[in-house]
Amino acid sequence: MTAIAAAFAIATLSAQTPARAPDVIYVPTPQPVVEAMLDLAQVKATDVVYDLGSGDGRIVITAAKKYGARGVGVELDPALVKQARENAAAAGVGGRVRFVTQDLFTTDLRQASVVTLYLLQSLNERLRPKLVRELKPGARVVSHVFNMGPEWPAEQTITIDRSRVFLWSIGKR
């Protein structure tokens, strides 16, 4: 193998390997739950929806396609980011959404008006201070299945297809 071929192989492998092991395994959110999450957050065209752990991109793609919102998918796995970009292009919303290979704990959330999550309660609880610190008053946080712990009870909880969906709003500071 030539040095150039070896460098290309290493670059290709590293482009497909997450920088660190993901905190959760990827499980796609069922489309009816995606719709319910976005409806519960009352997403509108002026919103910027950030999906932390965005997988194949379905939440921000749906937000762009159904509501005209802009979106950012944050995903640790480069292969899923590539798939999400392809899915956005196929859905015709590639200009309204972007997908980044980043750690959700270090991503700047200040532009988000809606944040969606399908993580674990322990991860939600770790994220809570960051959400409260970085999101503007009025921003909404929606989580599929997992809440934020007893210190931050959800303002609203719904059940869709036997899945719970939780909503919180960032208050005035």
pLDDT of the chain, 173 residues: tens digit per residue: 443 333 333 333 334 555 666 667 888 999 999 999 999 999 999 999 999 999 999 999 999 999 999 999 999 999 999 999 999 999 999 999 999 999 999 999 999 999 999 999 999 999 999 999 999 999 999 999 999 999 999 999 999 989 999 999 998 54
Q: At 40, is the secondary structure helix, strand, or coil?
A: helix
Task: Indicate the Cα dihedral angle 135, 137, 141, 146, nearest 10°.
Answer: 90
Q: What is the pLDDT of residue 22?
A: 65
Q: What is the pLDDT of residue 118?
A: 96
CA distance 19 to 5: 22
List 160's β-bridge partners, or say none: 163
CA distance 25 to 44: 30
Q: What is the pLDDT of residue 14?
A: 38
| 20-169 CATH | 3.40.50.150
Burial class (CB in 10 A: 0-12, 13-18, 19+), 166: buried
Q: What is the pLDDT of residue 171?
A: 87
Residue with tokens 């194949």: 56
Cβ count near 117 (within 10 Å): 25
Cβ count near 51 (within 10 Å): 32
Helices 58-67, 78-91: crossing angle, 10 deg rounding: 20
Q: What is the pLDDT of residue 39?
A: 98
pTM of the model: 0.87
Cβ count near 35 (within 10 Å): 15
